[in-house]
């Protein structure tokens, strides 16, 4: 692995298990870094400071006593605030869940705990994971460490910032249409969306149930592989979870591997600097023995409208439970039950969530279901078939993660369609349920700021290990973005 100033969970875990450093000192260093700069960057929504320090002390004592140590022993992590962690605030970036504390722990979080990790707290996010810039949070908008006037992406904005700024070496987010990969691209981190079902969704507050995936962010591909070894596997509490576990491919070679270059991912109007960085990545794959194959994914152009029918329909159903009766805040209204429902949802949901609930309710309504949701489901199947045909010719697909670098905060706030198009290159893999990783491909000029951009590798369903093994090899040849301005604090 190339040298980088950003903390690496694999290296840090080895130091902690050997006793070279203590967990308490490591957690204290992370908390000091957060205290130093998070007032500006706003990665964390709720810090569980005392809880983290108490767990760190307990882990240090376990090591001294000779107890078995897990693969993430002592590693500080951050959790997106739509992941349940018993006793911690799980507000999903929404006023309707203000102060809500989870009564149980998500399977993915429990597996981190069982592996020895130390959660420091929950991170800011677009409300109910609906957004591409972090600006839809009811509480605070996370800012890009490379340029705090720009977005860190969304919806897992706080988790991406926590890793990029060096506050933690590892964070969990959720990816429904690109909500981990796009922030990874904008912040110079590695973000991976597993095959749908690879990681249990139990304890992840639902947005789009056929799309949502718990997804890690880290500073290296090997950290993603380590995390997936911990997280992946069947869960009796999630009927959609896959039966198999994850094992990394340690002896993988790119010699003879065929890499697809979809024409639709490289349009004529693609930014020249971004094109150059991705073409450089493709050349790196060639130098490692791969063959580049031109191909077409013809239904890419309808991926965004398809996604915004399917996802909003599922959101409309999932968010019906937030009515002021069972969870979170209640606004009395006119005193009637219907009035309480109306007043609670009016006060509790932000504009973007209301927009998506209305869209979803409309496309599911009588007389419009077949014209909208039924048709979108058919087009989703066509997108899947595009990938199936592509993977008869190639092993992996490569392209930009995003067609732009991080854009200025506020630039797209009043233009929802422009904001939705930010996810044009990440949504297809989500609709098809495929594994996809974004890794840093270098820096571009962002109006006076050097900004990172990401390269995305996508693989066939279930081939998570192959996608990550190829990314790990490519990572060695790509120019690392380095550290954001102002430096980073290594835990």
The one catalytic residue in 22, 80, 200, 242 is: 80
The one catalytic residue in 22, 94, 132, 155 is: 155
42 CB-near residues (< 8 Å, 6+ apart): 124, 140, 141, 142, 143, 158, 161
Query: Taking phi first (over 0 means left), then psi (-120 to 50 degrees means alpha), and beta for anything else, what does residue 6 get?
Result: beta
**Is residue 449 annotated as a catalytic residue, yes or no?**
no
Q: What is the 3-state secondary structure (H, E, C) of 41-94?
A: HCCEEEECHHHHHHHHHHHHHHHHCCCCCCCCCCCEEEEECCECCCCCECCCCC
**Is residue 354 annotated as a catalytic residue, yes or no?**
no
- From CA 91, how far away is CA 94, in angstroms rounded? 6
- The answer to whether 10 touches 223, Cβ cutoff 8 Å, is yes
- From CA 103, how far away is CA 479, in angstroms rounded? 44
DSSP tally for the chain: helices H, then strands E: 15, 13
**Is residue 179 annotated as a catalytic residue, yes or no?**
yes
The one catalytic residue in 159, 179, 215, 449 is: 179
- The answer to whether 71 touches 10, Cβ cutoff 8 Å, is no
For the record, the structure tokens of 167 come out as 């506050």
For the record, the structure tokens of 41 come out as 């960057």
Which are the catalytic amino acids? 80, 155, 179
């Amino acid at each position: 692995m190339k040298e980088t100033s950003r903390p690496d969970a694999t290296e840090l875990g080895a130091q902690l298990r050997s006793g070279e450093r203590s967990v308490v000192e490591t957690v204290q260093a992370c908390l000091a870094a957060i205290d130093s700069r998070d007032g500006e960057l706003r990665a964390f929504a709720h810090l569980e400071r005392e809880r983290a320090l108490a767990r760190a002390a307990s882990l240090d004592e376990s090591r001294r006593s000779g107890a078995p140590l897990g693969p993430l022993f002592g590693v500080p992590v951050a959790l997106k605030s739509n992941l349940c962690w018993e006793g911690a605030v799980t507000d999903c970036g929404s006023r309707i869940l203000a102060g809500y504390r989870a009564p149980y722990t998500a399977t993915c979080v429990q597996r981190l705990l069982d592996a020895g990790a130390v959660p420091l707290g929950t991170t800011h996010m677009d409300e109910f994971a609906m957004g591409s810039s972090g600006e839809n949070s009811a509480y605070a908008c996370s800012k890009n460490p490379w340029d705090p006037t720009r977005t860190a992406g969304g919806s897992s904005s706080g988790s991406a910032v926590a890793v990029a700024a060096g506050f933690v070496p590892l964070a969990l987010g959720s990816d429904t249409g690109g909500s981990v990969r796009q922030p990874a691209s904008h912040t110079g981190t590695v973000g991976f969306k597993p095959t749908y079902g690879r990681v249990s969704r139990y304890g992840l507050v639902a947005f789009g149930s056929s799309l949502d995936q718990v997804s890690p962010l880290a500073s290296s591909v090997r950290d993603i592989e380590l995390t997936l070894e911990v997280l992946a596997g069947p869960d009796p509490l999630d009927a959609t979870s896959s039966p198999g576990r994850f094992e990394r491919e340690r002896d993988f070679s790119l010699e003879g591997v065929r890499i697809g270059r979809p024409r639709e991912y490289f349009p004529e109007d693609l930014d020249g600097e971004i094109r150059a960085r991705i073409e450089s990545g493709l050349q790196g794959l060639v130098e490692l023995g791969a063959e580049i194959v031109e191909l077409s994914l013809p239904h890419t152009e309808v991926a965004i409208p398809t996604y915004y029918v399917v996802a909003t329909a599922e959101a409309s159903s999932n968010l019906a439970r937030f009515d002021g009766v069972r969870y979170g805040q209640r606004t009395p209204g006119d005193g009637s039950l219907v009035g309480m429902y109306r007043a609670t949802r009016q006060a509790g949901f932000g504009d973007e969530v209301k927009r998506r609930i209305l869209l979803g309710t409309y496309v599911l309504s009588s007389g419009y279901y077949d014209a909208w949701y039924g048709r979108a489901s058919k087009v989703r199947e066509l997108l899947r078939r595009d990938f199936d045909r592509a993977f008869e010719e190639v092993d992996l697909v490569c392209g930009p993660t995003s067609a732009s670098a991080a854009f200025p905060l506020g630039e797209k706030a009043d233009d929802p369609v422009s904001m939705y198009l930010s996810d044009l290159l990440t949504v297809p893999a989500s609709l098809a349920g495929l594994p996809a990783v974004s890794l840093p491909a270098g820096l571009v000029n962002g109006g006076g700021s050097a900004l990172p951009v990401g390269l995305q590798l996508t693989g066939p369903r279930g081939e998570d290990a192959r996608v990550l093994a190829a990314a790990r090899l490519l990572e060695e040849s790509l120019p690392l973005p380095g550290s954001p301005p102002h430096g980073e604090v290594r835990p």
